[in-house]
Amino acid sequence: MENPGTQDTETQGTRRFVYDVWSALTLAVDSIRAHKLRSFLTLLGVIIGVASVIFVGSAIEGLSVYADQSTAKAFGSESYLVAQALSAHSLKEYLAKIKHNKVIKMDDYNYLLAVDSDKSLISPDRDKEVDVKRDSYVSELTDINGVSNTIADIRDMVVVDGRFFDDQEEKNRMAVAVIGDETRAHLFPDGSSPVGKTIKISGVDFTVVGVQEKLGSAFGQSQDNVIYIPITAYNRLFGPPTGDMPLFIRARPDSGLTMDQSLDYTRVALRTRFHQKPGEADRFDTLTPEAIRGFIDTILSLVSAIVIPVTSISLVVGGIVIMNIMLVSVTERTREIGIRKALGARKFDIMLQVLIEALLMASIGGALGVGVGALVTGIAGLAFKLKLHITVPYVLLSVAVSSIVGVASGWYPAARAAKLDPITALRSE
């Protein structure tokens, strides 16, 4: 059975500790209030450091979301690209792909349609920038895309007015077009529906059959100043392709295939087409949304690994400032400390007082830094039209670092104050 006297001793010890902490906290608050300007200037380094970490973290997360959205706009969620050379980590690698890989031609597209169209949706993608006209209105440097009618399903395109051109119009090389929202605004500024009306592309009349939904920009390029026309009409207008012709491909929804499985079938078909032996590297290049996201995530991770520590340096600087101010504070209160020690204050009491004051200052700076970081993040998000949001991990990182900075910066001044000789301290003026 536990001794009642031991329980009383433990209870008194707990009460004494709580009293000491509360007293130290009260003294710390009084000290900060007594030197408001000095305290604010001391906290400034911590505020800037925490705000910087919060903002940089939010920017990195926001850019990651923006990259995912841009990839979905440019590719679709489950589609992939096939071409001669699509990605490379260096100029040497790119030139090696150009030398080794085959140029994708219309014949290769037709071959894939013959052997793989029951499993996958396939569309060529030829593009050219030209000025498009309607009466006196001009849409400058509009991106004309020669595609198959399947591109709408491949890239999850949404037509908000009218429809996309169909297979029969594509086979008959009909001059029909689906225009982007920005192109619509340039050619039909009165806001009227362009469906059924005529526009001129390189001097040839095309009938507008649909308007694509507004997409905004992807990777800094507008996705709305665009016109989609049948690949057959494109080839008749601009001539057959002489260089590489990328192909957009996606597994048919009714095939039950995943994107990776569809890609495997496409690779097998093209390897057969190019008479490749087992073990030989593909003589074509492929690009998936996952590959793009992976590359972007790698870049952002590198940026985070470099920028976050750099911005955290200001927290260290803030900690050094707190340490200096606490040393000055200890010097100013030497006589006070001597009186407290003469009246029975322990080294622990003196050390606790200085530590709590340093920790309190760092914590206040951290809280203000989070608020400033959130404000800057909100303003930057509105200014650059990015969805920036505060993330919990970066907030916890900032608060944890600022707290550690507070303890670390207060430890030496606290230890120095605790070691003061009461007689010497009482003689101090």
pLDDT at 3: 57
User: Is 109 among the domain residues?
Assistant: yes
User: Is 37 among the domain residues?
Assistant: yes
Total domains in the chain come to: 2
Backbone Cα Rg of the chain:
34
Hey, which residues does 142 pair with through a beta bridge?
Answer: 130
Q: Is the domain of 125 the same as that of 208?
A: yes
pLDDT at 197: 96
Q: Is the domain of 171 the same as that of 225?
A: yes
Q: Is the domain of 299 the same as that of 411?
A: yes
pLDDT at 261: 94
Q: Please identify, among 248, 283, 318, the residue that sits at the C-terminal boundary of a domain.
A: 283
How far apart are the C-alpha atoms of 24 and 79, rounded to whole Å? Answer: 63
Q: Is the domain of 173 the same as that of 201?
A: yes
Q: Is the domain of 124 the same as that of 213?
A: yes
Q: Is the domain of 147 the same as that of 278?
A: yes
Q: Is the domain of 65 the same as that of 118?
A: no
429 residues of the chain, pLDDT tens digit each = 455 555 566 676 677 667 767 876 787 788 778 778 878 887 887 888 888 888 888 888 877 777 777 766 666 778 999 999 988 878 899 999 999 999 999 999 999 999 988 999 999 999 999 999 999 999 999 999 999 999 999 998 999 999 999 999 999 999 999 999 999 999 999 989 999 999 999 999 999 999 999 988 766 678 899 999 999 999 999 999 888 999 999 999 988 899 999 999 999 999 999 999 998 999 999 998 888 777 777 777 887 777 777 777 777 777 777 777 777 777 777 777 777 777 777 777 777 777 887 888 888 888 888 889 889 888 888 887 777 777 777 787 777 777 777 777 777 777 777 777 776 656 665
How far apart are the C-alpha atoms of 374 and 211, rounded to whole Å? Answer: 38
How far apart are the C-alpha atoms of 319 and 35, rounded to whole Å? Answer: 18
Supply the pTM of this predicted model: 0.68
CA 277, 278, 280, 286 torsion: positive or negative? Answer: positive
User: Is 146 among the domain residues?
Assistant: yes
Q: Is the domain of 107 the same as that of 255?
A: yes
pLDDT at 10: 63
Q: Is the domain of 212 the same as that of 116?
A: yes
Q: Please identify, among 283, 318, 351, the residue that sits at the C-terminal boundary of a domain.
A: 283
Query: Where do the DSSP E strands lie in 135-246?
Result: 137-147, 159-162, 176-179, 198-201, 204-212, 217-218, 221-222, 226-230
User: Is 78 among the domain residues?
Assistant: no
User: Is 5 among the domain residues?
Assistant: no
User: Is 12 among the domain residues?
Assistant: no
Contact present, 290 and 377 (Cβ < 8 Å): no
Q: Which amino acid is at 10?
A: E
pLDDT at 7: 59
Q: Which domain holds residue 258?
A: 102-283
Residue 429 CB contacts under 8 Å (≥ 6 apart), including other chains = 335
User: Is 77 among the domain residues?
Assistant: no
Q: Is the domain of 351 the same as that of 371?
A: yes
Q: Is the domain of 301 the same as that of 254?
A: no
Q: Which helix (H) or strand (E) holds 117?
A: none
Q: Please identify, among 255, 283, 311, the residue that sits at the C-terminal boundary of a domain.
A: 283
DSSP class of residue 104 equals: P
How far apart are the C-alpha atoms of 29 and 50, rounded to whole Å? Answer: 22
Residue 124 CB contacts under 8 Å (≥ 6 apart), including other chains = 106, 109, 146, 147, 148, 231, 245, 246, 247, 248
User: Is 97 among the domain residues?
Assistant: no
| Burial class of residue 422, CB neighbours in 10 A (0-12, 13-18, 19+) | middle
pLDDT at 252: 93
Number of residues that this document lists for the chain: 429
Contact present, 106 and 125 (Cβ < 8 Å): no
Contact present, 82 and 154 (Cβ < 8 Å): no
Q: Is the domain of 317 the same as that of 259?
A: no
